Chain A
Amino acid sequence: MGFFLQQLMNGLILGSFYALIALGYTMVFGVLKLLNFAHGDIYMVGGFVGLLILKLGSSWLGSGWLGVVVALFGSAALVGALGMLIERVAYRPLRQAPRLSVLITALAASMVLNSAVLALTGGRPVAFPADLGFVGYDLGPIHISVIQMALLVSTLILMLVLELFVSRTQYGRAMRAVSYDMVASRLMGIDVSQIVSLTFFLGSALAAIGGVFAGSYYGSLHFFMGFIMGLKAFTAAVIGGIGSIPGAMLGGLTLGLLETFGSSIPFIGSEWRDVAVFGALIFFLVLKPTGILGKTMVERI
């Protein structure tokens, strides 16, 4: 029982990372129908920007919670802006171009981000200068640390706020309108470019928060960590139903739990874990491309 609960906990933690990143995929896909390959790298850059903030501010912020919180907000703001910049420079000029060109450009944007960090870090893992200790609480048979709790609670709050933002505010309504029909939205006087920028800002900021949490939780960052994370978070978005915000959360947690419990089954083990994850991606895309919570999409001619 204790083992089960502990694994459940680990699965939820992993799932929260997936969910934070999957939200960005889902929002951008919803609005632009674009698979943003650079999103996994945005998460990675988010972690590194957080690291930089912690390093530069270490003398007056320290390496405890104050520093990490400042790093979370600072990285979210800066990397959110970076996401807007990438959209402005790389994606907007190609809004009318064939889909193949846009996909390759997104791939190029991803390569620019991870090779830039490769050049800066020399390809070595970099220790994350946060020191949060191992303080935690024992809830029955399981131990939960403060950072784990912070991650779970923040993910939940961020998702709720985002859902409220999209469903209740004027900007959220505009976002849904653009996602439904871009041309009609423009005719109705919606500033489509502004809404797209906003979407990129929010998605990138969430990924950056995931990156800073990853640094604080795992203790180090690496320039290539966004690749596999991006692929898995995309899988999560697909499982939950791409375009759906609660779907991203649900898909993330489902994938996190599947992965954690899957690798504790004998004969499967961790070597086959990623095979199972990508297998699930292909399975869902083929058999249920709308995911668990997604809406049926009709291809318009």
Chain B
Amino acid sequence: MLGGSVLLAACVLPFVADPYVLEVATMALLYIVLCLGLNVVVGYAGLLDLGYAAFFAVGAYTTGILTSQFDWSFWATLPVAAVAAAVAGVVIGMPTLRLRSDYLAIVTLGFGEIIRLIARNLTITGGASGLYGIERPVLFGIRLDRNIDFYFMFLILVVLVIYVSDSLSHSRIGRAWLYVRFDEDAAAGIGINRVAVKLYAYIVGAVIASLAGTIFAVKMTAVSPESFTFSQSLAILLGVVLGGMGKIPGVILGAIAMTLLPELMRDAGIYRPLVTAVGLLVLMLFRPQGLWPDGRA
């Protein structure tokens, strides 16, 4: 009921909002997708991923390269981007998911930097200046190039991701994640293949971020390595932690907060990161479960 009214409001918003509000709302939807995706990894499976922006980059660059250099249609790049992210997820996840959680954190951080550096140094990714002139998507002969088009593309993705992660969390695999998160050894003891279960979460998260990246690429028509820094990964993680790991409405709220706070704190200027950092520290010390946590935790 609440969900339905929120969705209805989200559908009406772009028709009444001014361009600035629409732009901020579109960015909020992008962050909601990314935070929900990371929530599968951190919130459900309990794996601290500090290089999540790398998968976002995989999607953005896949679409960017295929549309600008090989004349693919945007829609055809979607499955390729999803597969590329899944492969990247397996390549990095397979060997590392056996590791202790703090090792995993640092390995994902290193992996995030590797992806960014590769994008910076290859010719096909446009080097440090990145790719530009990415083709806009065409649907039934109509070129999608207005902000409102991308708003709705992200909104559809948000609905899809909410559906997928909600179903997953109530499925057999969702319960396995919960078990692994609380007691990995006990979970292994009752026959859960903990590496496979974690890998599954990792791949789901990777594909979600990649899809967000594809829309981001055609919205911006340009991608550069600087969109995928450690700070980006950190911002997504903050959204998840702020709202409450593992609970969808909490994570959505956290994502919206992470989009709005920088806008609201424009006056704080150079003190903005400090305010954010102190806020996070205080949150972790006094309310580590987030503002709206998962009831099961």
Q: Are A109 and B281 in contact (CB under 8 A)?
A: yes
What's the dominant secondary structure at chain A's contact region?
helix
In the complex the two chains form, is B281's CB within 8 Å of A275's CB?
Answer: no
User: What is the bound-complex CA distance between A278 and B116, given in angstroms?
Assistant: 12
Encode A274-301 as 1/0 by CB contact (under 8 A) with B. 1100110110011001000000000101
Q: What is the total number of residues of chain B having a CB less than 8 Å from a CB of chain A?
A: 43
Q: Name the CB-closest residue of A to B189.
A: A301
Interface CB pairs A-B, < 8 A, 17 = A34-B102, A35-B102, A35-B106, A99-B101, A100-B245, A103-B105, A104-B237, A104-B280, A105-B288, A108-B280, A115-B276, A119-B270, A119-B273, A119-B274, A271-B117, A271-B121, A279-B114
Q: Note all chain B residues with C-beta closer than 8 A to A90.
A: 281, 284-285
Complex contacts, B270 vs chain A, CB 8 Å: 118-119, 122-123
Question: Within the assembled complex, what's the spacing in Å between the Cα atoms of A97 and B297?
Answer: 13
Q: Is the Cβ of B271 less than 8 Å from the Cβ of A119?
A: yes
Q: Out of B46, B48, B111, B285, which one reaches A282, CB within 8 Å? A: B111
Further contacts, 15 of them, CB under 8 A, given A99-B101, A104-B48: A34-B102, A100-B48, A100-B245, A101-B288, A107-B234, A108-B283, A111-B277, A112-B278, A116-B277, A275-B117, A278-B111, A278-B114, A285-B103, A286-B99, A299-B100
Interchain nearest-CB distance for B186 vs A (Å): 8
Cross-chain contact of B277 among A108, A272, A274, A279 (Cβ < 8 A): A108
Is A118 a contact of B274 with CB atoms below 8 Å? yes
CA distance A282 to B280 in the complex (A): 28
A94 within 8 A of B: yes
The answer to whether B114 and A111 touch across the interface, beta carbons within 8 angstroms, is no
Contact (Cβ within 8 A) A100 B101: yes
Q: Which of B262-278 contact A (CB under 8 A)?
A: 270-271, 273-274, 276-278
Question: CA–CA, A111 to B237, complex, Å?
Answer: 13
Q: Who on chain A is nearest to B278 by CB?
A: A112
Query: Which chain B residue lies CB-closest to A283?
Result: B95
Residues of B within 8 A of A112 (CB): 274, 277-278, 281
Residue of B nearest to A273 (CB): B117
- Report B-chain residues with C-beta under 8 Å of the C-beta of A17: none
Q: Of residues A35, A285, A289, A299, which shows the largest number of chain B Cβ atoms within 10 Å of its Cβ?
A: A285
Convert B23-51 into 0s and 1s, putting 1 for each residue whose CB lies closer than 8 angstroms to a CB of A. Answer: 00000000000000000001000101010
State A278–B114 Cα separation when bound (angstroms).
7
Check: B241 CB closer than 8 A to any chain A CB: yes
B158 within 8 A of A: no
User: What's the Cα separation between A234 and B114 when bound, in Å?
Assistant: 16
A33 CA to B101 CA, complexed, in Å: 11
Residues of A at the B interface (CB closer than 8 Å) are 33-35, 90, 93-94, 97, 99-101, 103-105, 107-109, 111-112, 115-116, 118-119, 122-123, 227, 231, 234-235, 271-272, 274-275, 278-279, 281-282, 285-286, 289, 299, 301
In the complex, which residues of chain A have a beta carbon less than 8 angstroms from the beta carbon of B98? 286
> Could you tell me the dominant secondary structure of chain B's interface residues?
helix
Give the 8 A-B CB pairs with smallest separation, nearest first.
A111-B277, A115-B273, A278-B110, A35-B102, A108-B281, A115-B274, A108-B280, A286-B95
| Assembled-state Cα–Cα distance A104/B113 (Å) | 19
Separation of A118 and B241 alpha carbons in the complex (Å): 24
> Nearest Cβ distance between residue A227 and chain B, in whole angstroms?
7
Distance in angstroms between the alpha carbons of A116 and B275 in the assembled complex: 9
B226 on the interface (CB 8 Å rule)? no
Inter-chain CA distance A199–B160, complex, in Å, is 49
Question: What is the bound-complex CA distance between A90 and B230, given in angstroms?
Answer: 22
Min distance, Cβ B89 to any Cβ of chain A, angstroms: 15
Contact residue among B102, B120, B237 (Cβ-Cβ distance under 8 Å from A99): B102
CB neighbours (8 Å) of A285 from chain B are 96, 99, 103, 106-107
A111 to B105, CA, bound (A): 16
Given contacts A275-B114, A282-B107, contact A103 B99 (CB under 8 A): no
Q: How far does the Cβ of A231 sit from chain B's closest Cβ, in whole Å?
A: 7
B166 within 8 A of A: no
- The CA of A227 and the CA of B110, in the complex, are separated in Å by 11
Of residues B101, B234, B274, which shows the largest number of chain A Cβ atoms within 10 Å of its Cβ? B274
Q: Which of B46, B95, B273 contacts A111 (CB 8 A)?
A: B273
On chain B, the residues within 8 Å of A227 by CB distance are 230
Are the CB atoms of A301 and B102 closer together than 8 Å?
no
B109 at the interface (CB under 8 A from A): yes
B118 CB–A CB distance under 8 Å:
yes
- Contact between chains at B118 and A275 (CB < 8 Å): yes
Residues of B within 8 A of A123 (CB): 270
Complex contact A234–B285 (CB within 8 A): no
Residues on A with beta carbons closer than 8 Å to the beta carbon of B118: 275
What is the CA–CA distance of A111 and B235 in the complex, to the nearest angstrom?
12
Question: Which B residues are in CB contact (< 8 Å) with A278?
Answer: 110-111, 113-114
